[in-house]
Amino acid sequence: MSLREIKKFKDPILRKKSKKIWRIDEEIHRLALDMAETMKEKQGVGLAAPQVGILKRLIIVEIDYKTRKSVALINPKVIKKSREKSVYTEGCLSFPEIFFEIKRAKAVTVRAQDVSGNKVEVKAEGLLARTLQHEIDHLNGILFFDRLPILKRIKLRLNAEKSF
Ligand code: ZN
């Protein structure tokens, strides 16, 4: 295992759409292990492959805060979303030390494959539901501040040159 460099701020790769994974091979296994290690090292609770420069539909999410156990999800897709929303402070390893209050669905069901190619369905609420939505957005080139209300986004753009 080895740590991977996290792409940050204006790196154009963060805006690209990731490709579906058709074959779960040794390279994908290694990528998943490296990403899990990188996420832990950076104290994150989620990481998407484009954040380490790989445009493939793979995310890592922490599922146990105590043991810091994480899982890799391949080709994850939100198949159900609660109508109920929640607002919570969110950060991103690609935008260190920047936090926003983001409104997202309170609960989601995600369908994906695990690293062995088995179909899995994850039902989540709270922080895990939020992390899943955040990481799946990365696979579509969507960043967390894109989820801010439009006025806040305009203000952010005005200040953007200073920060990112
Ligand atoms: Zn992120």
pLDDT score of 83 = 97
Q: Calculate the alpha carbon distances from 12 to 79, 95, 137 in Å.
A: 28, 14, 15
* CA–centroid distance, residue 37 to ligand 1 (Å): 16
- Are 35 and 58 within 8 A, CB to CB? yes
Asked if the model's pLDDT at residue 160 lies above 80, the reply is: no
Confidence of residue 162 (pLDDT cuts 50, 70, 90): low
Q: What value does the mean pLDDT of the chain take? A: 94
- Name the region of 9 (left: φ>0; alpha: ψ -120 to 50; beta: rest): left
Name 81's Cβ contacts closer than 8 Å, sequence gap at least 6.
105, 107, 108, 109
* CA–centroid distance, residue 91 to ligand 1 (Å): 7
Spatial CA neighbour of 102 closest among 62, 59, 146, 63? 146
Query: What are the tens digits of pLDDT across the range 40-63?
Result: 999 999 999 999 999 999 999 999
Q: Calculate the alpha carbon distances from 159 to 90, 94, 124, 155 in Å.
A: 19, 18, 35, 7
Asked if the model's pLDDT at residue 163 lies above 60, the reply is: no
Share of the chain above pLDDT 70, in %: 97
Write b or e for each residue in 116-129: b if 16 or more Cβ atoms lie within 10 A of its Cβ, otherwise e: eeeeeebebeebbb
Query: What are the tens digits of pLDDT across the range 23-43?
Result: 999 999 999 999 999 999 999
Q: Is 5 a catalytic residue?
A: no
DSSP 129-143: HHHHHHHHHHHTT--
The active-site residue out of 26, 41, 135, 161 is 135
* CA–centroid distance, residue 23 to ligand 1 (Å): 25
Query: What are the tens digits of pLDDT across the range 48-106?
Result: 999 999 999 999 999 988 898 999 999 999 999 999 999 999 999 999 989 999 999 99
pLDDT score of 150 = 79
Tokens of 109: 């069901």
pTM: 0.93
